[in-house]
């Protein structure tokens, strides 16, 4: 019993140490593209820095809906270097009013998953304000 507890504790400690050595710092988790006409294609690079001491690995990137695609992303980023996630939103595939879409990505950081947001509105709507975010 003690041996199993010691192994479990060692595994938890090893995971905690490894997670602390990989740190992702986003320049900004949100991109406000403002007011656009329906059919506009929005592209944005979310940039981040590996602030840790080990190689940062982005294992998956998942858009919140079919109107958003991820064109490219940095799969590995060395310590001190920057990477990006290039998102594209086709506003012809969304409704009118407030446009708010997310991209979730998984990495080898302590948080495991992080989210970045694309937001704005169609030109006919006046509903967007900071209380929505």
0.85 surpassed by pTM? no
pLDDT at 58 over 90: yes
Mean pLDDT of the chain: 84
- The stretch 23-33 carries a mean pLDDT of 96
* CA separation for the pair 91, 68 (Å, rounded): 9
Q: pLDDT digit string (tens) for 73-90?
A: 999 999 999 999 999 999
pLDDT at 131 over 60: no
Sign of CA dihedral 83, 45, 19, 53: positive
* CA separation for the pair 84, 19 (Å, rounded): 20
- The stretch 9-37 carries a mean pLDDT of 77
Sign of CA dihedral 63, 68, 69, 70: negative
97's torsion region: left (phi>0), alpha (psi -120 to 50) or beta?
left
């Amino acid at each position: 019993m003690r041996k199993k507890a010691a192994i479990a504790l060692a595994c938890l400690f090893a995971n905690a140490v490894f997670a602390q050595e990989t740190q992702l710092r986003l320049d900004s988790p949100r991109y406000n593209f403002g007011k656009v006409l329906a059919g506009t294609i929005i592209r944005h690079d979310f940039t981040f820095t590996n602030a840790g001491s080990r190689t940062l690995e982005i294992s998956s990137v998942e858009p919140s809906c079919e109107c958003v695609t991820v064109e490219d992303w940095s799969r590995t980023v060395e310590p001190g270097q920057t990477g990006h996630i290039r998102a594209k939103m086709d506003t012809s595939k969304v409704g009118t009013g407030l446009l708010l879409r997310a991209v979730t990505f998984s990495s080898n950081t302590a948080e495991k998953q992080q989210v970045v947001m694309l937001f704005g509105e169609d030109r006919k709507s006046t509903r967007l304000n900071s209380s929505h975010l």
